[in-house]
Structure 1
Amino acid sequence: MSMRFDWYQSETKVVITVLLKGAIEKNYDVKIEAQKVHMTADGHELLLHLLHPIVVERSSHKAYATKVEITLAKETGVRWENLEQKAEPVQVLSTRQAKNWDRLVSEEEKIDEKEAKGEAALNQLFKKIYSSSSPEVQKAMNKSFSESGGTVLSTNWNEVCKEKVTVKPPEGTEFREWEK
């Protein structure tokens, strides 16, 4: 049985998204060659003869909850008209719906957030807060984190700008200066 997939490209890479729930449990396997990608997973198969050569050493794949993402490093910055060597018929191209790339990126971010756990999820949350904050909030976060040795993270610039942020270790622990 074949697998459903989609792809997009940048100047330096081609990304193939294969829709496959529980890829790890389905023993997925990806083989990447200079002009071929072959993926299998418990009775499913995807074989692509690529339009242009890629750099195998800089290419990779990763499994997520609902998909496998295969990232191929382009050998040259040429724009690919098609993913595979044989061109699609013109009538198929005209009936395809336009992709809403903003929605696709938003869905990717939601999936990444759901898959993150523990400290990774916390770091992801901090990155999101930082990237969507004003310059004042970013300054407050940087100053409080660096001056406190990573024990305080404040978003209040009016409070942080007045004086040095003191170290506040977690309850039950003590802070010690590094001995020179």
Structure 2
Amino acid sequence: MSVRHDWYQSESKVVITVLLKNAAQKNYDVKIESQKIHLTADGYELLLPLLHPIVVERSSHKAYPSKVEITLAKETGLRWESLELKETVAATAPPALQTKNWDLLVKEEEKIDEKEAKGEAALNQLFKKIYSTSTPEVQMAMNKSFTESGGTVLSTNWNEVSQDKVPIKPPEGTEFREWDK
């Protein structure tokens, strides 16, 4: 016949409460090992394979009128997800830490974005890509040429752009007008 039990934990210990009335009169016995607990008492048995190892020398048990309390000293301060080691725990244990190649993920995301973009969005995406992968000189040239030309010129040549103000060059068939205040 098995007995009911419950447990709780702190940072340094696990306490198992076994509901067993008059345990002392029932000749109860507790064997504490580093990976398992075995309680027996006249016709009662409880075998618990533990999830994590414990320190046997600092563990103890005590009988009360309605229960047996088993105090186990944790080997490490880990928080136990469960008391018992079950076969399913090994199967569902998280895999070893894997490192993600974030650069590869970003490149894959950029490829998806490039395929989905059309028209003006594709052109803007191209300019963003050129700008983000460029040297600081190329970025300065792009900023200066675009700003000074009123958005009509975009140059990546800093040597050319840095010497003078970039002239306004509207597309063919259009003319540039100053905003009237």
Output the TM-score relative to the length of structure 1: 0.48
Max radius of gyration: which structure? 2
Output the TM-score relative to the length of structure 2: 0.48
